[in-house]
Amino acid sequence: MRPAFSVVFLTTLIGAGQGLFLALLMVEWAARLSQAPVPAGFLAHGSIVAVLLCCGGLAASFFHLGRPGRAWRAAAMWRTSWLSREVIALPAFIALCMAYGIAHGRGAGIAVFLGAAALAACAALFVCTSMIYACIRFLQEWSSPFTFVNFVLMGCASGFTLAAALAAREASTLVTPFRYGAIILALAALASRAASLVRNARLVPRSTTQSAIGARSAQAVQKSRGFTGGSFNTREFFHGVSGRGLAGVLALFMLLAFVVPLAMLAMAGEDSRTLLALAFAVQYAGLLAERWYFLADARHPQNLYYQSVA
């Protein structure tokens, strides 16, 4: 597939926003369980950052549409479409996360309930976003539980890294738990992503030129796709990058999304503001490359009909 940058930014930005919110919620619940004071100011500021990230993702998604002015219609088919469900879950999460942050800012007791509600919206959003890809059964690279697991782990890893970077500025005692969380999540994401790469490398496409045209012979080759110019089919479903280029993107995201930020997180201390901010920036850049690779990786069966110009 040809990766759409609107989708790359949408899924990585909201993933980081959701991860950041989960990091904040974890701190709040841990504080309540241990009867320690809740760092309300930090939770309020962090929630606003999470909201901004998700709003950025929402804004990016509009660039994906041919007719953005009609985007409001996309909430209609929530009974059947995961995309429609995402269109509902994303604003719901943004609103609840915003309310959660405001409640903490004002010291309102309702924050506990808003946190739980935002957690539900956050989980629903992870499911919706990943199912958009995982539910297309013939895009075999996407049609796997790995899609969901990877989206969750990578979103949470980047969110916890960002939480550590934010904590270094205003709640330094929280840096260490966030840092450990980010390291564990990044390692888990690395393991899960590596496993999905191995799985995808072993996939045998179920569709063949034979099944595409109904040929019984073992030999069937396209001689002409029927036109020499371009079309939607020749643009949308081919990424046009060489095998070496793809391997380069793979190496890049392995390095930037996992290896480098893991090293930075391991080295950072409670006051490493710059290092932790840099760790998030590098990891986010790596996740952009990862999401690009994830989208490009899917081989669409329609490409069997567009093998040869003439």
Partner 1 sequence: MTQLALVIDLDVCVGCHACVTSCKEWNTSGEAGSLADLMPYGRDPSGTFFNRVQTFEVGQYPDTQTVHFPKSCLHCEDPPCVPVCPTGASYKRAEDGIVLVDYDKCIGCKYCAWACPYGARELDAKRKVMTKCTLCVDRIYDKSIPERERKPACVNACPTSARLFGDVHDPESEVSKAIRERGGYTLMPEWKTRPANHYLPRREAAPCDLPSPSSSSPR
Q: How far is residue 24's CA from residue 16's CA, in Å, rounded to a whole number?
A: 12
Residue 233 interacts with partner 1 (CB under 8 A)? yes
Least distance in angstroms from the C-beta of 306 to partner 1: 7
C-alpha dist (Å) from residue 12 to 7, 228, 230, 266, 294? 8, 37, 31, 23, 12
Options 226, 245, 248, 269; binder of partner 1; rule CB under 8 A: 226
Options 70, 109, 198, 202; binder of partner 1; rule CB under 8 A: 70
Stretch that binds partner 1, among 50-58, 172-180, 214-222, 241-249 (CB under 8 A): 214-222
Least distance in angstroms from the C-beta of 50 to partner 1: 24
Binding mask 36-65 for partner 1 (x = CB under 8 A): ----------------------------xx
Least distance in angstroms from the C-beta of 154 to partner 1: 21
Residue 63 phi, psi (nearest 5): -70, -10
Options 82, 146, 160, 294; binder of partner 1; rule CB under 8 A: 82
Residue 92 interacts with partner 1 (CB under 8 A)? no
Burial 109-132 (b: 16+ CB within 10 A, else e): eebeebbebbbebbebbbbbbbbb
Report long-range pairs for 242-248 (Cβ below 8 Å, ≥24 apart): 246/293, 246/296
Residue 240 interacts with partner 1 (CB under 8 A)? no
The smaller minimum CB distance to partner 1, of residues 31 and 83, is found at: 83
Q: Residue type for 98, please?
A: M
Binding mask 163-182 for partner 1 (x = CB under 8 A): --------------------
Q: How far is residue 145's CA from residue 156's CA, in Å, rounded to a whole number?
A: 17
Query: Is 255 in a helix, a strand, or coil?
Result: helix
C-alpha dist (Å) from residue 7 to 26, 59, 86, 104, 127? 28, 11, 13, 32, 16
The smaller minimum CB distance to partner 1, of residues 45 and 85, is found at: 85
Residue 273 interacts with partner 1 (CB under 8 A)? no
HSE at residue 16, side-chain half, CA atoms within 13 A, is 32
The smaller minimum CB distance to partner 1, of residues 211 and 274, is found at: 211
Residue 291 has a CB neighbour count (10 Å cut-off) of: 24
Q: How far is residue 95's CA from residue 270's CA, in Å, rounded to a whole number?
A: 31
Please check whether residue 21 is in contact with residue 125, taking contact to mean a CB–CB distance below 8 angstroms: no
Options 33, 34, 37, 137; binder of partner 1; rule CB under 8 A: 137
Options 230, 240, 242, 243; binder of partner 1; rule CB under 8 A: 230
Alpha helix (H) residue ranges in 34-110: 40-62, 82-106
Q: Give the binding-site size for partner 1 (rule: CB under 8 A).
A: 58
Binding mask 93-132 for partner 1 (x = CB under 8 A): ---------------------------------------x
Contact positions vs partner 1 (CB under 8 A): 1, 64-68, 70-71, 73-77, 80-84, 87, 132, 135-139, 206-207, 209, 211-227, 229-233, 236-237, 300-303, 305-306
